[in-house]
Amino acid sequence: MEKVFIYDTTLRDGSQAEGISFSIEDKMRIIQKLDEFGIDYVECGWPGANPKDTVLFERLKKYKPLHAKVVAFGSTRKPSKRVEEDQQVENLIRSGARVITIFGKSWDFHVHEALKTTLEENLSMVYETVEFLKRHAEEVVFDAEHFFDGYKKNPEYALKVLESALKGGADWLVLCDTNGGFLPHEVFEITKKVKEAFPDAKIGIHAHNDSDTGVANSLMAVLAGARQVHGTINGIGERTGNANLCSIMANLQLKMGYVVLPEGSLKRLTELSHFISEISNMPLPKNMPYVGESAFAHKAGVHASAVIKHSSTYEHIDPSLVGNRRKVTVSDLSGRSNIVYKLKEMGIQVDEKSPEVIKLVEKIKELEKEGYHFEAAEASFELLCKRHFGLVRKYFELDAYRVLIAKRSTDQLPVSEATVRLFVEDVKEHTAALGNGPVSALDRALRKALEEFYPNLKEVQLIDYKVRIVNESEGTRAKVRVLIESTDGNRKWGTVGVSENIIEASWIALTDSLIYKLHKDEEGSII
């Protein structure tokens, strides 16, 4: 099987995405993670372009990679300037990187308009910079910026640029769809012509995703002869992002038969994707192929029934190959197969045709009709099922709660106070608490009553609270759905409550959250 080299530019191109700012520590953690995963080339930044990247390359001089080659990124020399006198070229050498990548103009329009120089001078800039860097680096990669645009407008000149880089000693010629405007058939045709023009050259592809074809363009370039693929984890990057390496690596290795990663690495793909999502503070779309939470989720009853019998009926690969898992969700579209699958996940073995299962399915569909949404609240769903089979004990019993909201003319904000009366283990608890809102006050009063009996509830934190109107046409009489996300530091879980009263909906979701924590701790494991 033939090898395709993966070139990651998450730390350079990816960091140009709106809202992303990696610290030096973030960058070091990402480099180490990519290296351990088995990425071939890790482009770490542009030394000298900013203080952060300069310090990073100094630290990298002490780093001993397991697999990856550390790459420094820069540009060709400036027009009408000797390469030996160009400070940014000097910074590339000082970085100590094994591999240096430089970009140069391959579109005559950019040479004239952006560089304000001649076509001949641009060819000299490419040749001289590559030749100079090749004396100091193990490998030199030439990124032909805007190559596809340049080839379309002036193919002869675009090929001359590549030829100049080759004469200078470039190890890789990377064809860049910098504006992300090309389609797969165009990328294939042009890459094939480049390969025909330079049969012995090693070709790469660097695609952006502005036409939503970044992954497809990369795969088509490989089919046309490219053997190095640039991209970012999760496809993060400027504008609409770069080609998504998560999809590219999985497709190349699982679908196209190329050697991409060391043995066993692909099973950690989902973990890597989520790691980058957390570090970059960019939420991972649930429907992202291969690695998203919903990538192998089944909601319709027919789908779930078929998948349970044979996974390939509605799954293009085994989720475990990329470290993901099958997820059967429950909703008003669900059939008994979905419910039975979820019950088995909880360790409850039942006959699909039993009256109790039929009653449970009917109960779930009725609750969904009222506005409940169990796809986003699996903790509430688990409690519902286990309560149906008598598997959840009563940790407390409500006597009454009351919430007061008051604002005087001298107050800047309203004051919220909640009072809760509960029976816990036959002991009557009566507590009150203030909060920055009615739900906050209710949460504090409830915890105040329970924590003496259940100290582990101190670990629970509410991390998200969402309210949605279920039946908008009813106006102020409409039902509301409250979704709460909680964590105890080990895992996260979601709970839901529905009522015409927002406080009651919140109370249902709040109590489910705490009961779920108590129940799972009692089981002896947090799953």
The rounded percent of the chain whose pLDDT value lies above 70 is 92
Q: Which pair of tokens denotes residue 5?
A: 């080299």
In terms of Cα–Cα distance, which of 99, 462, 35, 459 is closest to 265? Answer: 35
> Look-up: residue for tokens 């520590």?
25
The rounded percent of the chain whose pLDDT value lies above 90 is 67
CA distance 173 to 184: 19
Q: What is the mean pLDDT of residues 96-106?
A: 96
Residue 462 burial (C-beta neighbours within 10 Å; 0-12, 13-18, 19+): middle
Min mean pLDDT across 229-243, 276-290, 363-377, 442-456 is at 363-377
Number of H helices, E strands in the chain: 17, 16
Q: What is the mean pLDDT of residues 25-38?
A: 94
> Look-up: residue for tokens 């990329």?
322
Q: DSSP secondary-structure letter at 325? A: -
In terms of Cα–Cα distance, which of 79, 61, 78, 82 is closest to 70? Answer: 61
Q: Is the dihedral of CA 269, 271, 277, 283 positive or negative?
A: positive
Q: What is the pLDDT of residues 418-436, one digit of tens each?
A: 999 999 988 999 999 999 8
Specify the pTM. 0.70
Cβ 77 vs Cβ 93: under 8 Å: no
Q: What is the pLDDT of residues 235-244, one digit of tens each?
A: 999 999 999 9
Q: Report whether pLDDT(73) > 80.
A: yes
Q: Report whether pLDDT(157) > 70.
A: yes
Residue 196 burial (C-beta neighbours within 10 Å; 0-12, 13-18, 19+): exposed
CA distance 519 to 447: 16
Long-range contacts of 84-93, Cβ-Cβ distance < 8 Å, separation of 24 or more: 84/132, 86/129, 87/48, 88/48, 88/49, 89/129, 89/132, 89/133, 91/47, 91/48, 91/54, 92/47, 92/48, 92/133, 92/137, 93/133, 93/136, 93/137
**Highest mean pLDDT, choosing among 79-93, 170-184, 290-304, 343-357:** 170-184
Cβ 110 vs Cβ 144: under 8 Å: no
Name all domains of the chain by residue range, CATH numbers in brackets. 5-259 (3.20.20.70), 397-523 (3.30.160.270)
Q: What is the mean pLDDT of residues 46-73?
A: 93
Q: What is the pLDDT of residues 33-46, one digit of tens each?
A: 999 999 999 999 99
Q: Which pair of tokens denotes residue 483?
A: 């979704």
Sheet containing 415-424, strands listed edge to edge, beginning at the edge strand earlier in sequence: 397-406, 415-424, 427-435
Q: What is the mean pLDDT of residues 67-71?
A: 96
Confidence of residue 505 (pLDDT cuts 50, 70, 90): very high
Q: Which pair of tokens denotes residue 51?
A: 């203080």
Confidence of residue 49 (pLDDT cuts 50, 70, 90): confident
E-state strands within 365-460: 397-406, 415-424, 427-435
pLDDT value at residue 527: 46
Residue 154 burial (C-beta neighbours within 10 Å; 0-12, 13-18, 19+): middle
Q: Estimate the share of the chain in helix, then strand, then coil, as percent rounded to the nearest 5.
A: 45, 20, 35
Confidence of residue 335 (pLDDT cuts 50, 70, 90): low
Q: What is the mean pLDDT of residues 504-512?
A: 95
> Look-up: residue for tokens 């309210």?
467
Give Cβ neighbours of residue 51 (< 8 Å, ≥ 6 apart).
none
Helix axes 184-197, 155-168, angle to 10 degrees: 50
